[in-house]
Structure 1
Amino acid sequence: MQTTKKFWSGIAIGVLGIVLFSSKAVMVKLAYNYNVDAISVLLLRMLFSFPFYVVIAILYRNKNNGVEVKKADYKWLLFFGFVGYYLASYFDFVGLTYIKASLERIILFLYPTIVILLNRVFLKQAISKIQAIAIGLTYIGIIIAFSEEVNVSGSEAYLGGFFILLSAITYASYLVGSGWLIPRFGVVKFTAYAMLVSCVCVFIHYGFIGEMDVFGFPWQVYGLGFLIAIFATVIPSFLVSLSIKMISSSNFAIVAGIGPISTIILASIFLNESLTILQIFGALIVIGGIVFMSIKNRQKG
């Protein structure tokens, strides 16, 4: 009974974390209504997140997992913080200037299949028939949804889709490459350190090309930046970690299928976005492919 209660509590926590993460794209699109660029919104996200991750890093600095952390590990942490949280976030925010929030989440949801492909190329891990079917389904779904978006929004959709795909690839690269580092540092400590690296990268980036005074934004932009930082970054990052701990990563991967759906609903409510029937069909194919792969991997495990 206690195990069942813990499992369903873990699912509820995971769903809440995913919905909060999904709200990020919607709030970014709302911020763009005030004529701010991608790097400015990303800067505010990192500025408001930074103190929380500093505190977490300090609290966990002396915690270890019984594994020796070498200097080379810190170098790799810097690299994956740069790739996984800075580049992936920047590409995502730029892509959102061109395409709908709902379509962004559908494309980003490809990252589990990209992880499989990267593992095949760089780690020589075989792709099972189930994985191949799932990958095929998801990319058919993306082609359907994206082709329809080009018809609706025009050629700018290609540029937006390209940046979102780059975001998915860089995030998948981070997941593949950092997998062996996380057990050394621990999930919370590694996440805090990697996020701090990302924050510094964004600060440097803005220092070089920031086109607006950091104190000159409309108050609504600061409010949205704070909400993105706290409710779409810090809080869900720990909710997701807790959920994975309670129900396992394979079960969480299945629950994560709610991500694109929640973004579509939130975008419809707050942005008046709508997807065509064909795009919804494509989205369902993408979600179905990922969930199918996750269920089969869980049964295999």
Structure 2
Amino acid sequence: MTARYSSAATQNDQRFGLIIALCAATLFSTKPILIKWLYSLGVEVLPLIWLRMAMALPFYLIMGYLAWARLASKPATRHLLKAASIGLLGYYLSSVLDLYGLQYVSAQLERLVLYAYPSMVVILGMLFFGQTFKAAIILPLLITYGGLTLMYGHDMDMLAAVPGVNNDQLMMGAGLVFSAALTFACYLLFSKNSIRQLGSILFTCIAMTSATLAILVHQRVDSWLTGVDYPLVPEYSATIWLGIAALAIIATVLPSFLISAAIARIGPERTSMSGTIGPVATTALAVIFLGESLSLLSIAGMALVVFGVWRLSQIK
């Protein structure tokens, strides 16, 4: 009876972890929509990166303090430094690469390239992290990537849909986003043990705080090298400030906590593959808010992605 109850509890925890991962992916999918919209209003990359993280920082400081206060025994300094380093990888370097890449590619294309990271997590996990590969994940992986191919592969003309951008710039943008995907895959893999040591909330707060400080340093160094003075608090309209606030809270704070909680429950591989639902949400939002195109093949691709993620949820 006890073993059966334990098995059922574990299965419920796995399902809850999957739901958390899907929610995180959906919230993260609003990021390119908000960023492309803010770019269209004249917001530049570096101020946007800084303000996004600066607005999110108070949430992480408060939650981090509460999580720290609840600890019966305080973690070693090396564990705190490790979490800070992992944060630099996943929420500083990956974010910077992604936002620069979004200058040159559409929101939908950004999601397609960025969501190469689930396969990277699986491959890197096997090669360098000693993780066991489950054959059962092959079919969901093929289904989801088949769906992504249908969603975007049929219409490469979207590459030319970005006004004033040539093919070299498009390739550079795609390369930057791909690099963002690679660094985020490494973040997911490195974060697993750190989350186990610190707890998902404290880990997230430390990682995001270190990333925020790194972005501030980045902005100041860039300003010094280029001679362009970026004010810490630019004179933006109320509309722009609301957009940045949405980017900070809806597309950063909430999903960052959710994704750490998901990794703690279902591991980095399943968390990353659950994230393939993100392009579906991005496509829908891009069509509604950015006026990007949608075809029957895109709809069929969405259906395959949803089905693939559902198949993933059935793996025990």
Q: Classify the TM-score, shorter chain.
A: 0.7 to 0.9
> What's the TM-score, normalizing by structure 1?
0.80
> What's 1:20 paired with?
27
Judging changes above 3 Å, is the alpha-carbon distance between structure 1 residues 282 and 8 closer, same or farther for their aligned structure 2 residues?
A: closer
Is the aligned partner of 1:263 residue 2:299? Answer: no
Aligned-residue offset at 1:256: 4.5
Helix, strand or coil at the partner of 1:69: coil
Is the aligned partner of 1:75 residue 2:77? Answer: no
> What's 2:90 paired with?
84
Judging changes above 3 Å, is the alpha-carbon distance between structure 1 residues 131 and 158 closer, same or farther for their aligned structure 2 residues?
A: farther
Unaligned runs of 5+ residues in structure 2 are 1-8, 161-166
Query: Structure 1, residues 213-266: CA drift from partner, whole Å, max 9, x if none?
Result: 333343133221111112222234445667788xx5388778655422221111
CA contact (8 A) 2:274 2:309 kept: no
Letter in 2 for 1:91: L
CA contact (8 A) 1:17 1:237 kept: yes
Letter in 1 for 2:81: K
Is the aligned partner of 1:194 residue 2:207? Answer: yes
CA separation in 2, counterparts of 1:167 and 1:19? Answer: 18
Aligned-residue offset at 1:189: 0.7
- 1:207 alignment partner, one of 220, 223, 231: 220
CA contact (8 A) 2:37 2:290 kept: yes
Is the aligned partner of 1:50 residue 2:57? Answer: yes
Judging changes above 3 Å, is the alpha-carbon distance between structure 1 residues 284 and 217 closer, same or farther for their aligned structure 2 residues?
A: farther
> What's 1:160 paired with?
173
- 2:133 alignment partner, one of 112, 127, 130: 127
Judging changes above 3 Å, is the alpha-carbon distance between structure 1 residues 244 and 131 closer, same or farther for their aligned structure 2 residues?
A: closer
Letter in 2 for 1:213: P
Judging changes above 3 Å, is the alpha-carbon distance between structure 1 residues 266 and 65 closer, same or farther for their aligned structure 2 residues?
A: farther
CA separation in 2, counterparts of 1:177 and 1:126? Answer: 16
Q: Using the TM superposition, name which of 278-287 and 102-111 deviates more.
A: 278-287
Structure 1 residues 1-301: aligned runs within 5 Å: 17-64=24-71, 69-135=75-141, 148=154, 150-154=156-160, 155=167, 156-210=169-223, 211=228, 212-219=230-237, 220-238=239-257, 249=266, 256-277=275-296, 289=308, 291-292=310-311, 294-295=312-313, 298-299=315-316
CA separation in 2, counterparts of 1:158 and 1:43? Answer: 26
Aligned-residue offset at 1:147: 5.2
Judging changes above 3 Å, is the alpha-carbon distance between structure 1 residues 197 and 80 closer, same or farther for their aligned structure 2 residues?
A: same
CA separation in 2, counterparts of 1:14 and 1:107? Answer: 19
CA contact (8 A) 2:27 2:255 kept: yes
CA contact (8 A) 2:93 2:183 kept: yes
CA contact (8 A) 1:34 1:218 kept: no
Unaligned runs of 5+ residues in structure 1 are none
The root-mean-square deviation of aligned C-alpha atoms, in Å, is 3.5
Judging changes above 3 Å, is the alpha-carbon distance between structure 1 residues 236 and 74 closer, same or farther for their aligned structure 2 residues?
A: closer
Judging changes above 3 Å, is the alpha-carbon distance between structure 1 residues 276 and 214 closer, same or farther for their aligned structure 2 residues?
A: farther
Q: Using the TM superposition, name which of 111-120 and 199-208 deviates more.
A: 111-120
Give the fraction of aligned pairs with identical amino acids, expressed as a percent. Answer: 28
